[in-house]
């Protein structure tokens, strides 16, 4: 078993990307990435503090953070969230589910991540 150093952990590029063809948008492709831990905290904080009426844009807000260009930078701004919320719900739900899955935000993701972690740990430990 290799124990990672601080430097190794900080240097690892662990952001995941998925390119998704959206046939309803002229067959174009969007690039979705997992949220960083900081972005996830910001998103969760927003969810817990918004008024009920404002929560209607939660999927669009997530997509504004997760849809990125080739350099991994978000292509949407805060000002685009309301416009994204007016797009076809079938598409927004589908894309936001992918963003949630990449970011470990679906109910199944938590179980899957925990099972993977526990399986990795079952290989044995030399600690007392």
pLDDT by 10-residue block (mean), the chain, 128 residues? 95 97 97 96 84 71 97 96 96 96 81 62 53
Strand order in the sheet with 28-33: 17-22, 28-33, 67-68
State residue 118's pLDDT score.
Answer: 64
Architecture in CATH for domain 15-121 = 2-Layer Sandwich (3.30)
- Give the SS3 label for residue 3: coil
State residue 59's pLDDT score.
Answer: 94
Find out whether 68 and 76 touch, Cβ atoms under 8 Å.
Answer: no
State residue 102's pLDDT score.
Answer: 95
State residue 45's pLDDT score.
Answer: 85
State residue 117's pLDDT score.
Answer: 57
Find out whether 40 and 58 touch, Cβ atoms under 8 Å.
Answer: no
- Residues forming beta bridges with residue 74, ordered by sequence position: 68
State residue 109's pLDDT score.
Answer: 62
State residue 57's pLDDT score.
Answer: 87
State residue 47's pLDDT score.
Answer: 82
State residue 106's pLDDT score.
Answer: 81
Q: What are the sequence ranges of the domains in the chain?
A: 15-121
């Amino acid at each position: 078993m290799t124990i990672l150093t601080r430097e190794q952990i900080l240097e690892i590029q662990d952001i995941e990307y998925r390119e998704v063809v959206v046939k309803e948008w002229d067959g174009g492709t969007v690039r979705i990435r997992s949220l960083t831990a900081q972005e996830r905290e910001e998103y969760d904080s927003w969810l817990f503090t918004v008024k009920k009426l404002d929560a209607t844009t939660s999927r669009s807000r997530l997509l504004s953070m997760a849809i990125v260009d080739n350099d991994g930078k978000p292509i949407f701004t805060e000002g685009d969230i309301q416009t994204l919320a007016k797009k076809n719900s079938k598409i927004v739900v589908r894309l936001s589910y992918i963003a949630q899955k990449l970011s470990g935000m679906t109910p199944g993701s938590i179980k899957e991540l925990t099972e993977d972690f526990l399986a990795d740990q079952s290989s044995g430990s030399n600690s007392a």
